[in-house]
Structures are given as C-alpha cells and as structure tokens.
Structure 1
C-alpha cells in the first residue's frame, strides 16, 4: 500500500509510517463523509502489515475547524447525521496502530476532538485549540467530554468547556494537550520522527501495548457520544444555538437568553 485516496483523505506510505492527510483546505471542516473516509483509511492501514504508525496531518490554514456552522445550524450540518458521524468517529478510536497528529493550525470544536483521538499531538506555534461549544449554544461532541479530561485533567477540561476559550500551542504544551511544539516548517518532520521511533519497535509488541493502554476506549467513546448526541439534538432546537451561530459568524459575544 503506497498511495491511495479516500475522498478528501490522501494516504501515502513512507517506510513503515503512513501519512494520512486531510485535504479540505483552508479550514478542513468535517462532515459525515470526511470522518467515514478517514475511518476507512485507518482500517485499511490496520490491515497493511507494512504500516506500523500513522501521521495525521491536514492541508491549509487549519488542522480542522470542526463542523461548518456558517452554512447552517447544527440540525443542518451535523445533528441530522450525528449518530452516524459519531459511529464513524468510534472507528478512529478502534484503530490498532499509534497515531501522531501534526497540528499546523487551529483545532476547534470537533476538530479538537479529532486531534485528541490521536495518541500524540505535535503542534506548530500557529496552532490554536478550543472547545468552543458554549459559544455556539451547543453541547460538546466527538467524545471530547470523555477524552479531554483524561488528557488534561477534569479541571482544565472544565475550564475549556465552560468558557470556550482558545489556547495557544505553548499553553497546550504546558497543559499536556500537546506533546511537542515544532516550527511550522519542521512540524511534519517532527511528527514523522516520533512515528518512526515507534515504528522501529517490534510491531506486534507495539500494538499489544497500545491495546492495553487504550483498552475499552472505543466502547467508552461510543457510550459517551450517544449521550453527547442526545444533548446536541436537544440544544440544536434552542434560540441560543441560532444566536450562537450568528454571534460566531459576526465575531461578537452572543446575546443569549436561556431559551
């Protein structure tokens, strides 16, 4: 398996490491098709014995800016297919091989969830991270209410969820959200260096250790996204959600009324 395309996902093998690249620049907004194609790529790489580790990267300004709410409400862009989208997301967590995310720009909302699904994150100084759901009048998704507290701790996760604040790469490094910061022009090289370091080990042992460390994670994400989906469906019908979309699009604070 040397090179293959899955919709907007490009896969290229470099020795024992696969570059999995999202190609929806500049913002790499996700939808059901993108996450399904990404999961298909992961499963194909799982079945490829020459692949021992993955580098997840993206073209454009953002790593992934989440769902494109500028084209409509959550009902229009995500919620109608969220149960299917999250089923595809669970497939990402079921991948048996380690993933290093090379985060060159913003990872926002569900895009943060995608970055957190990887085992490690290497970020450029230009990267930004935000769980901005409350600013959109909506509940977090993509399993973030499970995975983010596990990564940075309950307190810091709550701070990000409750405020919707955006943090930079250095803050993310200090919090443990990011494992390394590398200059933009050296980002992918740094990600491949880490992936190759893992790929030098015995592949069966590597996968066995990873399976132990992530034991039950995919199942837990499935249960968590079921709850997140129900909350998103409820909040998607509120006036605050519609106001949140307008406010974010207009780059202003939301005038929320609690209804």
Structure 2
C-alpha cells in the first residue's frame, strides 16, 4: 500500500478503507502538532464518500507512549493544552468507524488515543496503562470518561488509581480489545475488520454508528476541558516533577503531596 504524507501523518488506501499511520518511533510520543494532523486527516476522510472505514496505526515499538516527557518538563502553555484536547475531541467526531492496531504500549494519553477508536486489535506485546497518577497528574484525553464507558467503572478505577499496565490477553478479557493476534498479523487483521465494516450499507452504517455514539464527541470535549484544568493545577506541584523523574528512572515515586 502506498503511503503519502499528510501533515505529520501518512495516509494510504485499500479500497474503501483508509490506513492512517503516525511515525514517531520507537515510543510515538504525541504533541499538539501530531493530534491536530490526525484530526485534520479524520475531517477529510469523514467528508470523503469513497472512504467508509479507517485503520489507525503507528510505526515503532509502542503504539503511543503518551505526551512527550520533554514537553511535560518544560513550561506548559494552558492554551496549547486546551487546543490539544480540542483536537482530540475532533477525533471522536469523525463520522467514519475507526479500528486501531495496537502493536505495543498505549500509555496515558496514548491510551486515550487508542480509546478514540471504535475497535482495537492488539498484538501479544501490547500493554495498556492509564499511568497519570504515577507522574502526579490527572487523567487526560477524555480517559476518565471513555475508559469507564468501555470496561466498567470498577476496572477503570483500578487502572486509573494504580497506573498498572494491563497485558493484551487481560485487555481482551475485559473487553478493551476485540482480538489479540500475532504481531505479523496485526495490520492485516485490523484492515480485515475495517473492510468487513466497509462492506456494510454506508447510510445504515453511518446512522447506526451515529446512534451508538450520540453525544460522545461533545461529552469528551466537555470532560477533556475539565481534565485539562486539573492537569494545569497539578503541573505546578512538586509531585509532578518527581513523577516524571521517577518514571524516567523506572522507580517508585517519592511523593510528598505537594
């Protein structure tokens, strides 16, 4: 499949299915530029009648390890954060079904990105973590809304309050992913599911998905704005600085509650 650059992502087509790929390996950290590019591509594909489904994928060891630590350690611009989550909410507003191919870790905001898709196919190496409390901040990217909606409040609370990593097979049992396939079969499996979706009657598909996801984009936008306010408050704490440092050094944080 020929992949063409569009902004900071690459887009290819296989019949009625579009493959959208970002390439910031090995960890695939995101920033405002990347999420904005994804939102713009989703907007274009959403308006394209020849596209009926999208596969979201990345190139690298991790699917997406969240926001860049370098950006987090600098001065956080409040408007950039609100713009970032505004772009994230646009992903949920895309009218075309999305299948995410998860080949590695989906962490923090990277988990939020994975949860923006309708379906997720994972390889055995995939890991899912809402690790926000481990770096001393509040969940973002709408995770506090989308994760409980997907796996239930109790399991979501467990993930959010511990920051633990959930392996692919456990994620399958929890309903976080639809299937776990060998790494070599991941892209073909995601494309096959997207193709199966694309074979449906397009007007009925759009109407049915619209009913299922009614109000979701608006709810994510509102929740992400509240999450951003909490994150901006916690970015100013000593615990946040210690959290980022402890994660980078792969140790338990020495938090002081200040």
State the partner residue of 2:150. Answer: 151
State the aligned residue count: 257
State the partner residue of 1:109. Answer: 108
Q: Distance in 1 between matches of 2:193 and 2:4?
A: 23
Question: Residues 195, 120 of structure 1: CA spacing in aligned structure 2 closer, same or farther, 3 A cutoff?
Answer: same
Q: CA RMSD in A?
A: 1.3
Contact residue 74 and residue 236 of structure 1 kept, 8 A: no
State the partner residue of 1:23. Answer: 23
Q: Distance in 1 between matches of 2:74 and 2:155?
A: 29
Note the alpha carbon deviations across 1:39-87, whole angstroms, 9 max, x for none.
0000111111110000000001010000111x25366367551100011
Listed as ranges, the matches of 1:203-242 within 5 Å are: 203-242=202-241
State the partner residue of 1:181. Answer: 180
Note the alpha carbon deviations across 1:171-208, whole angstroms, 9 max, x for none.
10011111100100000111011111111111111111
State the partner residue of 1:12. Answer: 12
Q: Distance in 1 between matches of 2:160 and 2:19?
A: 31
Aligned to 1:13, the other structure's residue is in SS state strand
State the partner residue of 1:54. Answer: 54
1:27, distance to aligned residue in structure 2 (A): 0.9
Listed as ranges, the matches of 1:119-134 within 5 Å are: 119-134=118-133
Contact residue 104 and residue 184 of structure 1 kept, 8 A: yes
1:226, distance to aligned residue in structure 2 (A): 1.0
Question: Residues 72, 199 of structure 1: CA spacing in aligned structure 2 closer, same or farther, 3 A cutoff?
Answer: closer
Q: Distance in 1 between matches of 2:218 and 2:108?
A: 21
- TM-score, with length taken from structure 1: 0.96
4+ runs of 1 displaced by more than 6 Å? none
Unaligned segments of structure 2, at least 5 residues? none
Q: Distance in 1 between matches of 2:91 and 2:231?
A: 21
State the partner residue of 1:68. Answer: 68
Question: Residues 77, 185 of structure 1: CA spacing in aligned structure 2 closer, same or farther, 3 A cutoff?
Answer: farther
- TM-score, with length taken from structure 2: 0.97
Q: Distance in 1 between matches of 2:27 and 2:75?
A: 19
Unaligned segments of structure 1, at least 5 residues? none
